[in-house]
Structure 1
């Protein structure tokens, strides 16, 4: 075989090898592109946002397609700097978001941080972020923070609604016993801490069993509902009010002395007495007995305050009902 033939054969082999390598590289590129497209479709289909941020340059390196859907802003408005990102965060949550980024650098990761954003259309949305740091650079400093932000607005709304339902009385829509006493306990602690006055009121509908027995529970329920509405509109804005059982209600007056609370209780007495209920072709009127007390130095806890108000209320019952007794 001649030298020329040997050289041509070797060249053909090399070209074949290079062609095979090229075809293999092209196939690998197609697989990579297919994976990238699949990954992109997955990111676009979930209600979440993948992001990457360079801590040193303060630049956003990547935002997945979910940004447009979650933030309600066009792709052309993608933030490339931290200031642009923070501009989308609710003003009350910006310090928390910025501080938590620094915390990721210290801890390496944060499992969950929740904050609010304001969409381009003005809607308020809740996000939950899981974020972590990439590997340190050659100087040993972590630079890249990567996060996955999920829109949890519906979950937060559901939690808020469940919490609201757990804290209100289903019939009167005022605070239930547990919620009222939790709030009252906090106010008592504040009064003790700052030395401010506090007044506590118990209110019980007179002869309520007779109303139910004579006119039925439907009228009885109406009495409870309208009395609660009357109390809410009569009390001051910062006062607490709730139904604590049956036909018994309670109110707490923060930063209010006993002598200041008495005119409020008297106003309640008049407003409730003016209510009229249609029952069996006649107009039904109701009265209430009230027990009013102020916070004393020897009141060890809310239970002591409640016990004195309860005693005052039953004293009002014994004295003929439809009156206020203060102790």
Structure 2
């Protein structure tokens, strides 16, 4: 019989193997089931957003191009959850190169999401604060260019940050079965400023301005509603739709900040001193869970998304000319 105090190793045949964290079997099974479910849900919901915006011509608007970019990064985050399960479980079995690839994809998707959130804030700022120039300034082509630049810059930024880790995969691992990347102090500070402090400041400042203007517009509409002619009522309803879109995307951004801030605040204070691996994993999972919440917000606030889901799920999308369907 095995002695009770025997340590479980990731690779029992290797002397250099990492030790598996001691955890009741029921806890491990629960972690696998919950995280696998969230992973599948995140990937499925975001795939519905991607198909909807890509397929239906009515949805090819500048704002929806930004939502498409966000859905693509969130879709990949859904798959990265599966690798996160392995890290939480304490043993990485896929080798050093796959470990690096996981961290590169993780960082690229994160920085792209943050960049897209900044672009969404700019889009809503121009739509609400300068509505007359919005159609000429914010075109689908320009937004597509900005989104492409956002993805390209994220790839370059992550490769610059991880260049030492990419040169020698597994260099910082203390035992076999570990998946670790190390950033020096300068890189940590730069990352905190570029992917948290600057973007969050821009988002908050722009949305505060949007909120103030939207409130003043709503008051102006209410006070002048009696005197509005037919022509002006058209512009008022256009403004109303922009304000509604700003409110919905405001919810997306608030949810994003609530999920993002705990993770970065812990990084700022110094997670090495404060947290064990499980609480660290909790903040990371909260950060990832934002990718699952975004499509749920669209489903709650966007009628076009609910219509699109019905058409996709009932397979009407396979009919000829379905891309012309009226979903707005």
Between Structure 1 and Structure 2, which shows a larger proportion of helix residues? 2
TM-score range, shorter chain: under 0.3
> How high is the TM-score relative to the length of structure 2?
0.24
| Greater relative contact order structure (CA < 8 Å, 6+ sep) | 2
> How high is the TM-score relative to the length of structure 1?
0.24
